């Protein structure tokens, strides 16, 4: 898998996981995160996974764990990987998946 494909999978997984909030809140969260870290695209979360995780924790407190688990689960599904519910954080999951990818930029 190419790195650009991974970036798209992460973006799609985040959008899917946050969709439980509804389109308006989902878009507001994404827009605020991108502005806060001066990022151009949600695909940039591939390089800012820890910041994204911390941002959701800041916004949602303990509730962020449920959103992050939903995002990780969707990411594994999108990559045709078996999802085993563990204590792996979002940033750890992204890091593990990145190890499987050849960095082509």
For 12-27, the pLDDT digits (tens) are: 999 999 999 999 999 9
**Structural domains in the chain?**
3-96 (1.10.1200.200)
Give the chain's end-to-end CA distance (angstroms, integer): 12
Per-residue 3-state assignment (H helix, E strand, C coil) for the chain: CEHHHHHHHHHHHHHHHHHHHCHHHHHHHHHHHHHHCCCCCHHHHHCCHHHHHHHHHHHHHHHHHHHHHHHHHHHHHHCCCCCCCCCCCHHHHHHHHHCCCECCC
Phi and psi based region of residue 83 (left: phi greater than 0; alpha: psi -120 to 50; beta: remaining): beta
Among the listed residues 85, 26, 97, the one whose alpha carbon sits nearest the alpha carbon of residue 56 = 26
Mean pLDDT (whole number) for 40-66: 95
The pLDDT confidence band at residue 102, using thresholds 50, 70 and 90, is: low
With tokens 């990818």, the residue in question is 101
Residues 61-72: what's their mean pLDDT? 94
Average pLDDT over all residues of the chain: 90
């Amino acid at each position: 898998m190419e790195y650009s494909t991974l970036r798209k999978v992460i973006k799609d997984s985040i959008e899917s996981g946050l969709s439980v909030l509804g389109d308006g809140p989902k878009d507001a969260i994404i827009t605020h995160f991108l502005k806060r870290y001066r990022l151009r695209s949600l695909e940039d979360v591939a390089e800012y996974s820890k910041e994204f995780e911390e941002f959701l924790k800041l916004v949602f407190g303990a509730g962020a764990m449920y959103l992050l688990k939903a995002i990780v689960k969707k990411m594994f599904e999108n990559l045709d990987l078996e999802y085993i519910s563990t204590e792996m954080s979002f940033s750890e999951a992204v890091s593990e998946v990145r190890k499987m990818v050849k960095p082509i930029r």
